[in-house]
């Protein structure tokens, strides 16, 4: 059964004592018409917060990185790439990643099927770290509007669960899933 990689991280995040300033964002940086040729941590934070997500960690995957939580409970990472080169002070690219815990049901065939089914993202399997990941990589060459970066984030977050359905196929009906999620969110342990 699939599980979000950072289930334990949620509990740790609740007790995390970092300064509130670590998670604040100047959402004006995420103005749709703003064109960027590189991004900084402040840009990533602005994108995440402007899209309604809660930042739960900064710097965990490098100086220009964050972990965030969607309102639906999906954990994701935004990671700057090709940072502080001779071409720019910020990062010339960025990744959006959704990660899941690997289990005995994961197969190379399933990972390959996910890559074929959803070519807009790369699906990978780190057996050693017991992680299945879904990555959308964005290159900022020539500049990108912030609106495009937000759309790329939305696409990655939409495709992550769809990829998981390929890796871990289920015969459960949508009604059963809705009832399960309702019970899960109710906090009632007796059902």
Average pLDDT over residues 46-56: 96
- pTM for the whole thing? 0.77
For 112-154, the pLDDT digits (tens) are 999 999 999 999 999 999 999 999 999 999 899 999 999 999 9
pLDDT score for 24: 86
Tell whether the model's pLDDT for residue 157 goes beyond 90.
Answer: yes
- Lowest-confidence region among 74-78, 95-99, 175-179: 175-179
For 16-30, the pLDDT digits (tens) are 434 444 788 889 999
pLDDT score for 13: 42
Residue 86 pLDDT level (bands cut at 50, 70, 90): confident
**How far is it, in rounded angstroms, from Cα 77 to Cα 67?**
4
Q: Decide: 102 and 127 in contact? Cβ < 8 Å.
A: yes
Phi, psi (rounded to 5 degrees) for 20 = -60, -25
Phi, psi (rounded to 5 degrees) for 152 = -65, -40
pLDDT score for 87: 83
Average pLDDT over residues 93-116: 95
- Going through 20-59 in order, the beta strands assigned E by DSSP cover 35-36, 54-58
Instruction: Look over the chain and give the mean of its residue pLDDT values, rounded to a whole number.
Output: 85
Helix ranges (DSSP H) in 137-173: 146-167
pLDDT score for 26: 85
pLDDT score for 1: 46
Tell whether the model's pLDDT for residue 105 goes beyond 60.
Answer: yes
For 159-189, the pLDDT digits (tens) are 999 999 999 988 656 666 566 667 767 766 5
Give the chain's domains with CATH numbers.
6-186 (3.30.1460.10)
Separation in Å, CA 43 to CA 71, 97, 114, 185, 190: 20, 17, 30, 32, 44
Q: Decide: 25 and 41 in contact? Cβ < 8 Å.
A: no
Separation in Å, CA 26 to CA 33, 67, 92, 109, 147: 15, 17, 20, 43, 16
């Amino acid at each position: 059964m699939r599980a979000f990689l950072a289930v334990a991280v949620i509990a740790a995040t609740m007790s995390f004592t970092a300064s509130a300033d670590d998670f604040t964002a100047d959402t004006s940086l995420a103005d749709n018409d703003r064109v960027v040729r590189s991004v900084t941590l402040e840009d990533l934070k602005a994108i995440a917060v402007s899209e309604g997500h809660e930042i739960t960690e900064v710097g965990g995957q490098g100086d220009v990185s964050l972990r965030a939580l969607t309102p639906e409970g999906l954990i994701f990472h935004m990671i700057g790439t090709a940072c502080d080169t001779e071409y720019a002070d910020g990062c010339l690219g960025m990744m959006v990643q959704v990660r899941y815990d690997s289990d005995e049901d994961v197969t190379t065939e399933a990972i390959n099927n996910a890559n074929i089914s959803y070519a807009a993202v790369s699906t990978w399997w780190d057996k050693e770290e017991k992680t299945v990941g879904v990555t959308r990589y964005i290159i900022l060459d020539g500049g990108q509007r912030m609106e495009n970066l937000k759309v790329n984030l939305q696409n990655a977050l939409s495709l992550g669960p769809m990829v998981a359905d390929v890796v871990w196929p289920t015969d459960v009906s949508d009604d059963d899933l809705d009832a399960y999620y309702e019970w899960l969110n109710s906090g009632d342990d007796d059902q």
